[in-house]
Chains A and B, each alone.
Chain A
């Protein structure tokens, strides 16, 4: 079946540090890939997405590139802020009869200190 594996957390960084959260996937079809972010007490918000190989999704300084050869979609940000503290989820969906069902990674808790 389809699955997503994220790096273990929690991740703790100082403000302005470089962030990488690794994500790899296995899929039976050709997936679309997403990063979602969950701030404390809130629902999930779409952070960025990529729908085909070599696509780069970007938003709010975050980037991730769809790498089919390594089945990866690592999240990066050059300089994190305290306000980036949240839980980050990598996820995939495959079209067709799955009707967009999202398969999530286990989530990575990020804490950024001033």
Chain B
């Protein structure tokens, strides 16, 4: 009965490859997010979707493309992976509107060789 689940948990791949990370939430939330956590633990929002519509895109390179097939899913596809993409990526969800707490997945650790 995991609330926010991400797959895979670990992703090791070569520079230049394309990869996807999947996220699903079973909380009935309308809003989903992707965050990036760097090696110093700093967290920064990348994208936010509300009811399958892109709301926030925080100057993320075009190589990153989120896709939301329905309210419960928000996937992240990354093209032409670069060394600097190595990080932990977290998916989160919340009810619509400000002031709502967000529920996070366990993260996907992406390592670029």
Which positions in A face B, CB cutoff 8 Å? 32, 34, 36, 38, 41-46, 49, 51, 87, 89, 93-104, 106-107, 109
Tally of chain B residues near chain A (CB < 8 A): 29
Q: Which of B40, B43, B94 has the most CB of A within 10 A?
A: B43
Q: Would you call the interface of chain B mostly helix, strand, loop, or mixed?
A: strand
* Binary contact readout B79-110 vs A (1 if CB under 8 angstroms, 0 otherwise): 00000000000101010111111111111000
Please determine whether B90 and A51 come into contact, CB atoms closer than 8 angstroms: no
Instruction: Tell me the complex Cα distance, A16–B99, Å.
Output: 33
Known: A42-B107, A106-B40, A107-B41. 20 other contacts (CB 8 A): A32-B99, A34-B101, A36-B104, A43-B104, A44-B43, A44-B92, A46-B102, A46-B103, A93-B100, A98-B56, A98-B98, A99-B55, A100-B31, A100-B98, A101-B45, A102-B35, A104-B42, A104-B43, A104-B44, A106-B41
* Binary contact readout B40-79 vs A (1 if CB under 8 angstroms, 0 otherwise): 1111110010100001100000000000000000000000
Closest chain B residue, CB of each to CB of A108: B41
Please determine whether A99 and B42 come into contact, CB atoms closer than 8 angstroms: no
Which positions in B face A, CB cutoff 8 Å? 4, 31, 33, 35, 40-45, 48, 50, 55-56, 90, 92, 94, 96-107
Please, which residues of chain B bring their CB within 8 A of the CB of A34? 101
